[in-house]
Structures are given as C-alpha cells and as structure tokens.
Amino acid sequence: MPRPRKTREHASTPLRRDRSAQDTDLEQLAQFISHELRNPISTLQAFLTILLREQTGPLNDVQRDFVSSMLSISHRLERLSDDIRVAFADGSEVSVQPSMVDVRAVVESCQREVSSIVHSDGLSIELDIDNMRDWTMTQDPVRLAQIASNLLENAVRHSPDEGTVRLALRQSTSRLFLVVENESYQDLSESDLEALFAPYARGSSASTRHPGGSGLGLAVVTHLVAALRGRIVIRAGKGRVSIGIVLPRSIPGESGAGE
C-alpha cells in the first residue's frame, strides 16, 4: 500500500518570544561576527575583481577559472555572513529592496553556483521552468537568491549520491511559486518536519550525505520568506521531500518582516 505523503505548512513568520539576556547576547555576537567578516570579504572581492579584469596583466584560461572560482566562493562567504545575522535576528530586521528582476535568471545563477560545489558525479540539479513565460517581476533579487541557494544546498546535502534535485518555478496572476524537491534517505516524521527550520538543524547522519554546513540555511529561509510576505509548504513521503515557497508576484517596498 502506498505510503501517504505528509503535508505541513510552515509558519514563515518567525516566532516572537520573550527575549532573555542570553538571546540578546547571542544576537549581538551574531551581529559582531557578521560585521567583522564583511570587511575582509569585501577586500578579497576587490582584489579578485582587479585580477579578473586583467588590470594587473593578462590571465590564461586556467588562471581565469581559478580566479572566477575564488570570486564565487567569496560571494558564498558574503552570503554566509548575512545568513548569520538574519538567522539570529528577531524577524523585524530583514531589509527588503524590491526591483524589477528576471526571476528565472536569478534561479539559474543559483543552480550554477550550487552545482559547482556538488561532490558527486551522480547527483544532478535540474530546473523546471517554462521558458515561454515572462519571469520579470518586482522582487528582491538578493533575498530571492538566498532562498533558492539555501533550499538547493539543503536538498543536495540530504540527497543520495545518484539522486536528483529539482527546482521548479511556477507563476499565477498574483503569486510566484518556487519548489525544491529531492529524494530522501528516509521518510520524515512529523517531528522531523517541525524541526527542519530550527537553527542548527542538520538532520540525522542517516539522512544526510554531507553532514557539514552551518545548519542555518532553512532557519534563514524562514526569516526571508516572512520578510517577502510569503509562506512555506513542506511535503514528505514516498522517499521524497519538497519545500515550496509561495510569494506575491510583486513584493512591497523596503520593509522588515515585523511590520
């Protein structure tokens, strides 16, 4: 008999709780670490950009690939710095800066970036996007990229070596739908689904192909989706897990999640 699929709508609005002194100390530490990482990362990016523009001399193809890879890694470090800050914020401090953006281009860039760090020749990341549709919408490209990248990285870590991760984009007259689905080592229980978006939640060793990672990715997604006025839907069963993000086609102006 087929196993039923579990569906859960995750509360994308970060829970408000009484903030203890420990909470405040942890948030201040996260803010400090994030701030201290930004300056060296920015300096590294500036030097790598100079090299890539060949302002110090020509590069051969191998050198260009190396410098491009290092610059891509520096952008990942920059995003991690922001993830640290966002994950421990109280939910009202996530800024949103909308602009007209090609959502398809943002997602394709995330797919290329995450594919470059996949450590298995058998694992693939596939996109399911209707190329005949116009994907120009009013979104925050930085926040949208953070959501897509974090979901893809999480799916990669929890997929078998020969598995497939799929990211699908859909749209309606008023909504944008982003769904990431992956094969799973084991079915998730209700408690597993509930804990997925908690900070430092990495899953059991039996459900993770690469136990590394900050454990902040899905917690960050919760804050970002709330800031973009969206919601999260999780489905699990039959050896697959999918996390769907539902966003308005046009997000409001600059704001925080707590407004």
Max mean pLDDT among 24-33, 44-53, 88-97 falls in 44-53
Max mean pLDDT among 52-66, 90-104, 197-211 falls in 52-66
What is the total residue count of the chain?
259
235 and 137 in a common domain: yes
152 and 41 in a common domain: no
The predicted-structure confidence for 98-156, as pLDDT tens digits, reads as follows 999 999 999 998 898 888 777 666 788 999 999 889 999 999 998 899 899 989 988 98
222 and 186 in a common domain: yes
142 and 174 in a common domain: yes
- Residues 113 and 92: their CA atoms lie apart, in Å, by 29
Does 150 reside within a domain?
yes
Q: 109 is in which domain, residue-wise?
A: 6-12+96-248
The predicted-structure confidence for 30-84, as pLDDT tens digits, reads as follows 777 777 888 888 899 999 999 999 999 999 999 988 888 788 778 778 877 777 7
**10 vs 114, which has greater pLDDT?**
114
**Tokens encoding 6:** 């579990």
216 and 161 in a common domain: yes
**Tokens encoding 181:** 């689905």
Does 256 reside within a domain?
no
190 and 223 in a common domain: yes
Q: pTM to 2 decimals?
A: 0.72
Q: Which residues contact 102 (CB under 8 A, 6 or more apart)?
A: 135, 136
Does 237 reside within a domain?
yes
Domain boundary (61, 87, 113) is at: 87
Average pLDDT on 9-37 reads 64
Query: Which residue blocks in the chain are alpha helix, DSSP H?
Result: 21-52, 61-87, 103-115, 141-157, 190-195, 217-227
Structural domains counted in the chain: 2
In this prediction, residue 185 carries a pLDDT of 59
229 and 113 in a common domain: yes
